Chain A
């Protein structure tokens, strides 16, 4: 390739998703010269997003395929459970699914935008119930970064003051959209008859334009350049117009994606260079054991390149960052970089998932009205049984929240599949009338619960496989504990109870055995851990600022650093933690410690 990256970068960031984008934004705004390497292709949501296109216009009416598991219009490019040319494997008895997205912005282009803060309990789980690990920081340490992240990316929601469900500071959240009809009905039944709270969800979608100048000044009080690029970027984002699904990306930048929210202000500083199609293989070190840069494969030329910097920051996603460390072997680090205690790859966690669908007669024959809304849910149920759990009344230790939805959404592939139990096999005019009657009356409930890290869930280098670029690949191991299985069973029982209390009928099976109810490991796409942080170098890979204990100019600032995986979807926390780590890096650079 003709490009030779300069060798005067302060920092190399590997990956351009939630963590990489945030690190690039904070560092570039702070005057740090950054080179970002992204393994996938360049991607621009403004020009590439299929806004308003119909399933009718797509192959297979936009049904999921092996290459596009979430449907044709999903934003993901070169990603999904499989990536062309980049295999992974599972040990016997394990069926781990690893979702990747090889594109600028990574998985932020596809994600659900659900932005829930971890609470005070979530940072000290071991202190509460003796299981798993405590974080080396507390909620108070990360709270200012939650505020800053929410203000920067734009999150709608409300402050309800519920247990372990933190409020945001005044002036941070955007107003939540009014609930849809089916959400209101569910809320009424859950509140009045089941004592389950149903409150506004928190999603990274703009319900009104951001107050660019106020927020920019709040985020960067003494940094005019950062204020300018931040405010300019915010002014280029429009509020949601409540049409077309967020998972396609957003050409008007109303939702959060790294390429529309984090990378534009970062590049506007002039301090960020980005190389796409750059597949990082390993971090290089000098004879003193300090990181010097990274080797990457240029996917266009298939040539190996090396770039150097004072600091290397891995934000390639939890398992990919672990893979890079494990592949960074040298005489000083024969088992991989930062892996002297053998903990790299250990304690991988996903979210516990289980779901139930129901049909609700009260929602049949609804007067026609627009029920699209802000693409995803307007309401959700935060975990409500902390006290029962503390009293030992449940047979699982950690909580889950409920995501739900349905109603009169755009008809899509399979919208009327599996309704024979209701129609008794009707066809002809009666089937046509049945579809009209049942349209909009289906509701789906999905639990998202906390998994407790265990010794049997980890990834390692598969000694028998390399990817298309010659890089050794990962092999996964997985065993759920009873905490997860019992929780999944409890989810399904709860959803069945909600559906029946609403006067509805469960479609499908509610399983007695949690092992039949639980989603496959990796299937919820919340895999975190594997490069855990801690306050003891012998029992963790990173300190609380995502800094390697062994190599002080090496950081892993993505979900790999998580030591627990609360039911709160991890992306918001990944960004807040990455911002905190970035502030620390800037401070250490200013003090000449890096």
Chain B
């Protein structure tokens, strides 16, 4: 460890100080209910590669075995979260009815194809629930946008296709007929501006939700975040692609 306090009693007290500190006006700590500790890719998984790339005379063991899965030093609140075992500090707030409609909309935005699943199959609607339930001003404002937009979709479905019709029950071409009019703000009719902003918001959140999953990253053929023994120039086919061969 890089530092030491002047006696061990103090160290213990530092580690136990979370109760005291939680009296601070900490934003975001509205609920301490902990979701399951998410999977952590421990550095240990990378160790064999790392060992092989280090000069043999300088490979201190301590460097290579820091496979912590949680951090006892962290208080666990929003200012000092456990970065090694992340948890969401707030409850979800959308209703199951809203989530069903949202899942359908997410898949209208990113459908399944031969390379990857659809947005809802990768939990995009659940991420949007996490997003709009967060206790921050911007997220709370997004919640209003999403809720009003979902209501608008159903009312538009009724208006166009008859009573007791919900957006999520429409045929694919009927959904497209609605979405085509709100998918691009500069082209949206003035009375559809709010609906277009809603669509844009859900598209942005769906795209973050989808492409940040392991499956989404694989779809994009992102191949980083792995330890390398050395850093090489770009491959020849890359240089060729940009005309720098």
Contacts and interface: CB of A to CB of B under 8 A. Distances in A.
Do A and B associate with each other? Answer: yes
Interface of A: 1-3, 5, 16, 41-61, 65-68, 72-73, 77-78, 84-85, 104-105, 177-181, 184-185, 188, 207, 209, 212, 235-236, 238-244, 248, 251-253, 259-260, 263-264, 267, 273-277, 300, 362-363, 365-374, 408-418, 420, 424-429, 431-432, 435-436, 439, 468
B110 interface: yes
Contact of A44 (B1, B110, B184, B232): B1
Contacts of A276: 3, 5, 14
B130 to A, nearest CB: 7
Q: How large is the interface on B (under 10, 10 to 19, 20 to 34, 35 or more residues)?
A: 35 or more
Contacts of A415: 207-208, 211-212
Contact of B40 (A53, A66, A177): A53
A248 B83 contact: yes
B144 interface: no
* A contacts with B: majority SS: loop
* B contacts with A: majority SS: loop
A439 B228 CA distance: 23
Contacts of B10: 1-3, 275, 300
B40 to A, nearest CB: 6
Nearest to A1: B10
Contacts of B49: 241
A263 B2 CA distance: 6
B79 A84 contact: yes
B156 to A, nearest CB: 16
B24 A468 contact: yes
Given A43-B73, A54-B225, 15 more contacts: A48-B83, A52-B42, A52-B225, A59-B81, A65-B28, A72-B83, A73-B83, A77-B74, A104-B3, A178-B231, A209-B54, A300-B17, A410-B222, A415-B207, A425-B186
A53 B111 CA distance: 27
Interface of B: 1-7, 9-11, 13-14, 17, 20, 24-28, 38-43, 45-46, 49-50, 53-55, 58, 60, 62-64, 66, 68, 71, 73-74, 78-81, 83-84, 86-89, 108-111, 113, 127, 130-131, 134, 136, 176, 179, 183-187, 199-200, 203-204, 207-209, 211-214, 216-217, 219-229, 231-235, 237-239, 241-244
Given A42-B5, A436-B219, A243 B127 contact: no
A53 B60 contact: no
Contacts of B64: 252
Contact of A3 (B7, B66, B68): B7
A526 B237 CA distance: 40
A413 B108 CA distance: 20
Given A277-B14, A420-B184, A84 B203 contact: no
Contacts of A374: 231
B184 A362 contact: no
Nearest to A262: B2
B112 to A, nearest CB: 9
Contact of B185 (A253, A420, A428): A420
B10, B113, B233, B244 — most chain A CB neighbours (10 Å): B10
A60 B131 contact: yes
Contacts of A2: 7, 9-10
Contact of B78 (A5, A61, A67, A185): A67
